[in-house]
Amino acid sequence: MANTTSTTAGGGDFTSNLGRIYGIYTGGFIAFIILMAVLSAMGVENVVIGYLFMGFTIVIYAVIGVLSRTMHVGEYYVAGRRVPALYNGMATGADWMSAASFIGMAGSLYLLGYDGLGFVLGWTGGYVLVAILVAPYLRKFGAYTVPDFLSARYGGNLARFIGVIVLFSCSFTYVVAQIFGTGLISARFLGIDFNVAVYVGLAGILVCSMLGGMRAVTWTQVAQYIVLIIAYLIPAIWMSTVKTGIPIPQLMQGQALANITALETAQGITLHHITPFAHGGYDAKNFFLLILCLMVGTASLPHVLMRYFTTPSVREARVSVAWSLLFIFILYFTAPAYAAFAKWTMLDLVASGLTPENIGEKAGWMMRWAAADNTLVQICGKAATDTAAIVAACAEKGVTALSFADINLNADMIVLATPEMAGMPYVISGLVAAGGLAAALSTADGLLLAIANALSHDIYYKMIDQNAPTSRRLIVSRILLVLVAVLAAYVASTKPSDILSMVSWAFSLAAGGLFPALVLGVWWKRANSAGAVAGMIAGFGITLFYLVMTQYGADFDKATPNMELWWGVKNISSATFGLPVGFAVMIIVSLLTRAPSQAMQDFIEEIRVPRGKQMMEEKIA
């Protein structure tokens, strides 16, 4: 770790050595995995391996966080704007790929087959919008936060304030899902109670982001990307090699799909994995609307956009978006393969002649997961905690031989349980847990930082006390970070929903609230303050209304019926309504009110060209 020390000394030295530093780090991590495998072979207990994996990785992140601590405003908010495109791409990859991508996505693909691919498409294609419509222009403007841009473009604190509200709502929903994910991992692999586990996960998140702000988060996220991608690829490669003899899961997925279809037909399953628009209520309409909401949400989420504030130039910002998507792509095009191999393995298991009596022996991992949380594995409709429970539940239903449909696995456990399912050594389970933790922590760090920055920079500094000294602003930011984090952990402990739904809601809220104001702000000079304010309120309001009314109802009682879906659109695509309303209101109100001043039109001209000084000059602390 001696090399990382130079972060505190000076940026130039550190950035020129990045390749070597992270190369050594990656080698060290692989050596650590081998060490764990050796310890495991020597008979060290599984739970100890779990603790070592999670403990060791968190310590590394914390060390990077502490070494990157800073009291400099530019470093704290935008990492000194000197993160090279490739590394910013890697950090964005980790920032982006959360518990939903790592833990939730392949599980949903397993359950939903083709229809789960809506998530894969939605969470990649959005980067096209980021690159062509938003990111380079925000970089030129030179903001610290997204509301900063709204305030400058739409002249005033009202637009800023609404921007902060939208930012807070979407980022908070998102961060709750991440803490939920860390809780799930800690509960299973460390054997602690879920309600305690969420706070343990929280501690890990805070050490990285609190001291060093954006600078610390950037360099830990690069480290976390390396851990999570290794942890995701190894089990997929393993399954591919065992099943087909060729270690390229993405390619051999074709063979897996063919086998899945054959096994499904043999077992009398009529709804095939590859059948489009048929699983879990995803008809073609919901499939395409989900893709739209996720893509547009990508281009509106403040914690993603603010990553492009850290590059040295506009040009680097554009290249960086491409790198981001490349690093994200590596995981996303593996996920469908991961799901296919896991499903093939399960179908094979069922085909081997599974009964309520022998499942405990053939698939003991199911009982271990059911014991961690009784909603995770259900067989014959009851929690599969032990053989006696399964036999009793199945006898009640008159099931003597188990079929694929009798075994109900929760989407959020499939990735984490796959190593056990496929009979890999426990060290791989530990690795996957560490990867899932890295994914959840890295995203939570970015989100908490986005929230704390908006509250300290936009609300406290820009709206309450313009004369606040630097040190006080940074301390306020850190205190707010902790408060928001604790609140999020509390909400997560109430288990509001599954990870993928919570994350999708966040995307819809961001899309409905921010996308029209951001895009028209750059691309339509006529957009004015009144239009933006009205558009943001209308777009965000409709999205939030639809989400809350269909999920909880007006009385916030889950037991009573909620509002009917409009035209059958699932509430994870709430922005379906917020987005067009937001655009329409913003355009109409803008046209009905006065055009922006000449000074404002010149300002827009300026952000459209890369050359020239950035618009918002930072005060050097």
Partner 1 sequence: MATPDRVSYWNKTKSLMFVMLGLWVFFGYVIHMFVEQLNSIVIFGFPLGFYMAAQGSLIAFVVMLFWFARRQNAIDEEHGVHED
Which residues sit at the interface with partner 1, rule CB under 8 A?
Answer: 114, 117, 120-121, 124-125, 127-129, 131-133, 136, 250-251, 253-258, 274, 276, 284, 287-288, 291-292, 295, 313-315, 318-319, 321-322, 325-326, 329, 332-333, 336-337, 602, 605, 608-611
Residue 342 C-beta: closest distance to partner 1, Å = 15
Identify which of residues 66 and 128 has a Cβ nearer to partner 1 in the complex: 128
Amino acid at 505: W
State the nearest-atom distance from the C-beta of 214 to partner 1, in Å. 22
Nearest-approach distance from CB 418 to partner 1, in angstroms:
18
3 or 313, CB closer to partner 1? 313
Q: How far is the CB of 333 from partner 1 (least distance, A)?
A: 5
346 CB-near residues (< 8 Å, 6+ apart): 404, 407, 409, 421
Structure tokens at 150: 């709204």
Residue 334 beta carbon to partner 1: minimum distance, rounded to whole angstroms? 10
Question: Which CB sits closer to partner 1, 279 or 478?
Answer: 279
Q: State the nearest-atom distance from the C-beta of 222 to partner 1, in Å.
A: 19
The alpha helices in 79-116, defined as continuous H runs, are 85-96, 99, 106-112
Count CA within 13 A, CB hemisphere, residue 121.
12
Choose between 82 and 457: whose C-beta lies nearer to partner 1: 82
Angle between helices 18-41 and 46-67 (to 10 degrees): 160
Smaller CB distance to partner 1: residue 2 or 599? 599
- Nearest Cα residue to 305 out of 517, 462, 544: 517
C-alpha 132/C-alpha 114 separation (Å) is: 29
CB of 115 to partner 1, least distance (A): 10
Neighbour order of strands in the sheet with 407-409:
382-383, 377-379, 407-409
User: Amino acid identity of 570?
Assistant: K
Q: Which residue has the tokens 């055009």?
A: 595
- Which C-beta is closer to partner 1: that of 344 or that of 460? 344
Residues of the chain by 3-state class (helix, strand, coil), percent to 5: 75, 0, 20
Minimum Å gap between C-beta 291 and partner 1 is 6
Count Cα neighbours of 85 within 13 Å in the Cβ-side half-sphere. 16
Which one, 56 or 333, has the nearer CB to partner 1? Answer: 333
Nearest to partner 1 of 26, 275 (CB atom): 275
Between the alpha carbon of residue 602 and those of residues 146, 508, 598, the distances in Å are 20, 32, 6
Nearest alpha carbon to residue 240 among 345, 330, 326, 327: 345
The residue count for the chain: 621
Toward partner 1, which CB reaches closer, 115 or 412? 115
Q: Which of 163, 216, 234 is nearest to 446 (CA)?
A: 216
Residue 245 CA: distances (Å) to CA of 242, 256, 425, 428, 530: 6, 12, 18, 19, 63
Q: In whole angstroms, how close is the CB of 407 to partner 1 at the nearest point?
A: 24
